[in-house]
Structure 1
Amino acid sequence: MAASDTSSRIHLLAEDISWDDATWILTSSFIIFTMQTGFSLLESGCVRRKNHVSIILKNCCDPLFSGLAFWTIGYGLSLTADTAVADGTVSHRNPFIGFGDFLVDSTQVDMGQLFATYAYRLSLISVATTIVLGAMTERITFLAYCLFSFLITIVFSVPSYWIWSPNGFLRQWLAVDVAGCSTVHLAGGMSGLIATLILKPRLGRFSQNAGTFAMSSPTNALLGTFMLWWGWVGLHMSSAFGVSNNKWKYSARSAVSTIMSSSIGGTTALLLSYLFMRHKFDIKLFICGLLSGLVSVSAGCTLYQPWESLIIGFIGSLLSIGNIPVLRLMKIDDPINTISIHLIGSIWGMLALAIFVQKDTLLQMTYNQTGLIYGGSMRLLYVQMLAIVCIAVWSALATAVILPSMRLLLAIRLSLNDELRGADFAEHNTSHEANDDTLLPQNTSLKTNKSVARMRLKKVLTALKATHRMSSYHRRNSFLKRHVKQNQTKTLAGGHLV
C-alpha cells in the first residue's frame, strides 16, 4: 500500500490512538460481543420453548456471517482510504459511501489502529444484526436468516460511514451520535419493523380464539437482560474510543449516565405495570422500560449530566412502553418488543441530544453545538431529524428489497406444519416432547378451535403411551435383574439354578 494511503487511513481510523487506548477499545469490544449471550437468553425466554434452540443458534451465527461480511465488504464501506493532500488533510471525495479496506489486512505501520477499530466496529454491527432477529423470531427459516445476516451487515455498514467517517455527509452536516443510537439501534429497529411486516404475524398471534403468547422462560429473559445491561455499560464506556488524555473522563461519565437512564427506565416500567396491570409487576414491561432507557441515552452518553440522563431515560421508557399497545392494535407482531425498544427509543434518543446536550469543550464531540435548553439553535435539531430520516429510509428500503428477493432462492418463512411443530424439531432435529411442559403447545387459551384441540389431545395421548411403554420396560428389566442375581447367589451357595 502506498505511503499516502497509509497515512490517510491512520488519520481516518482514529485521532491519536495509543496502545492503552487500543487496550481499552479491544477490551470493550469483547464486552460488546458478550451481549450476544444476553440477546440469546432474552429472545429465547420470550418465545415458545419449541423454538429455543433455533433462536440461540441464530444468535451464535450472527458473529459468523456478520464477521465474514464485515471483513470482506462492510468495513471498506464504513471507512475510506482517500488520498492525503499536500497540507496533510484528507480530501473529502465521497460523502455517501466509503471505498477503503476490503478484505481487511494491515502492515506493521497501522496494524494496531486498524485492527482495534475493525474489532470495535464489528462488535457494533453484530449487535445491530441481532436486533433484527428479535423482530423475526419464530418465523424466519435458519438458511434465510444466515443469508439475511450476511447481506444486512453490508447494509448497516453504510450509515456508520455517514455518521462517523470524516467524509460522511451527516458528519459534515455535524450530526452527533456518540454510541450508535442511529447506526445500531435505529437501523436495526427499522429493519426489524419492515421484516416483521413482510413475514407477517405468527400463526394465531392475533386470532380471537388464541390466548396471549406468554414468555416460556421469564428467568432466561431476565438473565439475558442483566447480561445486556452490563454489556451496554461497556459499549457506552468505549464510545470515547480510548482513555488517554481526557478520554477517560468521558468514559467515566458515560458509565454514570448509562446506569442512571437504565435505572429510571426500569423503575418507570415497574410503576406503570403496578398501576395498570392490577398491582402486578410484568416482566416484559420491565425489560422494555429498562432497555429503552439504555437506547435513549446512547446518542450522547458521554455528554449528559446525571439529571439529564434521568429525564431522557424516563421519557424514553414512557414512549417505548406506550408503543406496545399501538403495535398490538395495528397487528404488528413484535415478540421481543424490538421495535418499541430500539426504533422508538433511538428516535427519541437522537432528538433528545439536540435538546439536552451542552457544548463540549474538551474533545469537541458536539462540534461546538449546544442543545436547545442551553440556548442552542434549532439547527442541531434539524440535523438530528435529517439523520433519523436518512438512516430509517435506508434501512427500510434495503430490508424491503433483500427479504422479498431472497424468496427467489429459498423459503424465508417456516411452513405451516414446521411452525406448528417448532423450528427446533423442523430445522435442527431437536424434540422437547420428553419434557412435561411441552406436552401441550404453549401459550394458548381454552377457546382454541376444536381441530387444534384434537391434535393436541392426540399429542398428549401419544406421549403418555410412550411413557407407559418405557415404564413397562423398566419394570420387566428390574424383574430380570433380580432373577439373575438370585440365581448367582444360589450358585455361589451350592444350590441349583432356577
Structure 2
Amino acid sequence: MEKVTLSIDSVWVMLCAILVIFMQAGFALLEAGSTRMKNAGHVAGKQMLSFSICALAFWAVGYGVTFGEGNQWVGFSGWFLDMPTEKGAIPLEISFLFQLSFVAVSLAIAWGGFAERAKLGVYVLFGILYTAVIYPVVGHWIWGGGWLHELGKQDFAGSTVVHLQGGIAALVATLLLGPRIGKFNANGTPNVIPGHNQVFTVLGTLIIWLGWFGFNPGSTLTAQDGFFGFVALTTNLAAAAGAVAALVTARLVVGKADIPMMLNGVLAGLVAITAACAFVEPWAAVAVGAIAGSLTVFTALYFERKGIDDPIYAFSVHGIAGIWGTLSTGFFASPRLVELTGVGKAGLIYGGGFTQLGVQTLGVVASGLYVAVVSFVILWALKKLMGLRVSEEDEVMGLDLSEHGSYGYPEQLPVPEKKGTHFAETGEEAS
C-alpha cells in the first residue's frame, strides 16, 4: 500500500510540474502580445532561453543551494542532484522538475523588466546567476529549512519565493536600463506604447491561469487526502476576484474597462493567493484576490507617473501582489488550516495577534532586500563590463532583427532600407 501511495503522489507531482512548465507558453504569449511587433519573436523566443538556462543552472547548483544540507542561510550540498531521495518521499528527479518549474516562472517574471531594450547576452548571464545565487538562497530560507522556515513563515507556493523575487529583480533591471525610447516626453509625461496583439495577451493569461492549478495545488505534494482540491478552489476564487476588481477599478480610475488591466488583475490575484491558498478560507481568498487586483491598477499607474517604464508591469503584478499575498496570511490565516498544515500561527482577525503578521513582514523585508541588493550588484557589474542596453539604432530597428536577424512578422515588418531611421514600406518612425 505504501508503494501505491508513493506512486500516486509521484504521478500527481509530475503532472503538476508539467502544468507549471506549460505556463512558459502563457508567458511567451502574454509578453510577446504586450510588446511591439518588431520585438515579438525575440520576446517569445527568450522564454525558451529562460527555461533552458534554468534547467541547467538549477540542476548544477540551484537545487543544492535551496534544498541541500547546510545551515540556516544556504545549502552546501547536492550539486548536480548528488543527494539521496528520502525514504517515503517522491523521487528526487520528480522533485527537481517540480521545483525547476517554479524558478523558471520566477526568472520569466524578472525578464519582463528587461523587455524591448536589453542585450541578449545580459539575459544569459543574469539568468545563470539569478538561478544559481539569488532565487535559491531565499528558497532555502523559506522552503529548505532555513531561518524563515523555522520562524513559521507561511508561503505555501511562492508569493515571496517565486513572485516577489522575480518582481523585485524586474524593477531593479528596469531602473538600471532606463525607459524605452519614446516612452516619456521631455516634461516626463508618459506615452502609451501598446502591445501588438491583445488576443495573445488574453490567451497567454488564460494558459497561465490554467497552469496555476499545478502551481498551488501541486505544492501539497500529495493527492491522498484531497486537500489539493481546497487549494485549487481558493486559487480560482482569488483569480476571478482579481479580474473583476481590476476591471472595475480601471473603469473608475481611467474611465475605460481596460482589458490589459483586467488581465493584470487575474495575475495579481493568482500571485497574492499563492502564499495564502492553503491557509485562508474561501471568503478570504476572494478578499485577497480583489485587493490584489485593485492594487495592481493603482500601482501600475503610479510607477508610470514616476517615470518607471516596466513594459509588462512585472513589479506591480508580481512584486506588489507578492508583498500583499505574503502579508495577507498574517490577517486571514484560519486556525483550522494552520493546524492542518502545521505552519505558523493564526491571523490577526482570528485573534492570533500580530505574531504571524510580524513573521510575514520580516520575510518580505529580508527577502526583498537580498534580491534587490544582489540583483543590483550583478546588473551594475554587467553594465560596467558589457553594457545592459542595445544601441539606440538597434532598439529602433527592433530586437528581432538586430539580435536574431529576422522579424517574427517578416511580411508586416520589412527590413529597413537605412538602419535606424525609417522602415522602408511601413513608414514607421524611428521612435
Distance 2:367 2:86 in 1: 34
Question: Which residue number corresponds to residue 353 of structure 2?
Answer: 377
CA deviations on 1:388-446 (whole Å, 9 max, x unpaired) are: 0111011101110111212354332111110010000001111368534x4799xxxxx
Distance 1:108 1:132, change over 3 A: closer
Contact 1:239 1:302 in 2 (8 A): no
CA distance in 1, matches of 2:393, 2:172: 24
Is 1:27 the counterpart of 2:15 in the alignment? yes
Q: How does 1:450-489 map to 2 (within 5 A)?
A: 455-456=421-422, 459-460=424-425
Give the 3-state SS of the residue equivalent to 1:213 in structure 2.
Answer: coil
- Are positions 1:160 and 2:139 aligned together? yes
Cα–Cα, structure 1 residues 22 and 461, in superposed 2: closer, same or farther, change >3 Å? closer
**1:379 to partner: Cα distance:** 1.1
- For the residues of structure 1 that align with 2:105 and 2:329, how far apart are their CA atoms? 22
* 1:367 to partner: Cα distance: 2.9
CA distance in 2, matches of 1:36, 1:410: 28
For the pair 1:217 / 2:194, whether they are aligned, the reply is no
1:355 alignment partner in structure 2: 331
Q: Paired residue for 1:309? A: 285
Q: Using a 3 Å threshold, how does the CA distance of structure 1 residues 222 and 303 change in structure 2: closer, same or farther?
A: same
CA contact (8 A) 1:58 1:146 kept: no
Q: What residue number does 1:73 align with?
A: 61
Q: How has the CA–CA distance of structure 1 residues 77 and 285 changed in structure 2, closer, same or farther, with 3 Å as cutoff?
A: same
- What is the alpha-carbon distance in structure 2 between the residues aligned to residue 384 and residue 50 of structure 1? 42
- Measured in 2, the distance between the counterparts of 1:432 and 1:462 equals 18
Identify the match of residue 369 of structure 2 among 377, 393, 396.
393
Cα deviation for residue 68 of structure 1 reads 1.0
User: In structure 2, how many angstroms separate the alpha carbons of the residues matched to 1:117 and 1:396?
Assistant: 28
Question: C-alpha distance in 1, partners of 2:415/2:275?
Answer: 45
Instruction: Tell whether the 8 Å contact from 2:159 to 2:326 is kept in structure 1 after alignment.
Output: yes
Q: CA RMSD in A?
A: 2.5
Q: How does 1:44-63 map to 2 (within 5 A)?
A: 44-63=32-51
| Structure number with bigger Rg | 1
Aligned residue identity for 1:95: Q
Q: Which residue in 2 is equivalent to 1:228?
A: 208
Q: Which residue identity is paired with 1:316?
A: A
Hey, what does 1:417 align to over in structure 2? 393
Q: 1:17 to 1:139 in 2, by over 3 A?
A: farther
Per-residue deviation at 1:368?
5.5
Q: Residues 211 and 113 (structure 1 numbering): CA distance in 2 closer, same or farther, change over 3 Å?
A: same
* 2:222 is equivalent to residue 257 of structure 1: no
TM-score of the superposition, structure 1-length normalised? 0.79
State percent identity of aligned pairs: 31
User: d(CA) in 2 for partners of 1:328 and 1:51?
Assistant: 21
In structure 2, relative to structure 1, the CA distance for the partners of 1:76 and 1:106 (3 Å cut) is: closer
Q: Using the alignment, how far apart are the partners of 2:370 and 2:396 within structure 1?
A: 34
CA contact (8 A) 2:20 2:215 kept: yes
Contact preservation (8 Å) 1:355, 1:372:
yes
Query: Which residue number in structure 1 is paired with residue 298 of structure 2?
Result: 322
- SS of residue in 2 equivalent to 1:140: coil
The whole-number CA distance in structure 1 between the counterparts of 2:405 and 2:338 is 57
Q: Distance in 1 between matches of 2:337 and 2:231?
A: 16
| Post-superposition offset of 1:371 | 0.7
Aligned to 1:129: 107
1:420 is paired with a residue whose SS is helix
Deviations 1:269-325 (A, max 9, x none): 2222333444x3212111111110111111121232211111111111111111011
CA contact (8 A) 1:40 1:59 kept: yes
Shift of 1:382: 0.7
Distance 1:433 1:386, change over 3 A: closer
Shift in alpha-carbon separation, 1:142–1:376, aligned structure 2, 3 A: same
In structure 1, distance between residues paired with 2:409 and 2:303: 33
CA distance in structure 1 between the partners assigned to 2:54 and 2:415 by the alignment: 37
Work out which of the residue numbers 72, 76, 92 in structure 2 matches 1:99.
76
TM-score of the pair, normalised by structure 2? 0.91
Q: Take 1:70 and 1:51, find their aligned partners in 2: how far apart are those partners? A: 28
Matching of residues 402-413 of structure 1 within 5 Å? 402-413=378-389
Distance in 1 between the 2:42 and 2:257 partners? 29
Give the Å deviation of 1:121: 1.0
Gaps of 5+ in 2: none
Preserved contact between residue 300 and residue 316 of structure 2 (Cα < 8 Å): yes
Check 1:462–1:348 CA distance in 2 against 1; reply closer, same or farther (3 A cut). closer
Q: Secondary structure at the match of 2:63?
A: helix
1:241 paired residue among 221, 233, 252: 221
Question: Contact 1:176–1:365 at 8 Å: present in 2 too?
Answer: no
SS of the aligned residue for 1:204 comes to coil
Residue aligning to 1:446: none
Change (3 A) 1:151 1:461: closer
- Point out the more displaced range, 99-108 or 418-427: 99-108
CA distance in 1, matches of 2:358, 2:197: 43
Unaligned runs of 5+ in 1: 1-15, 83-93, 442-451, 464-498
For residues 299 and 38 of structure 2, what CA distance do their matches in structure 1 show?
28
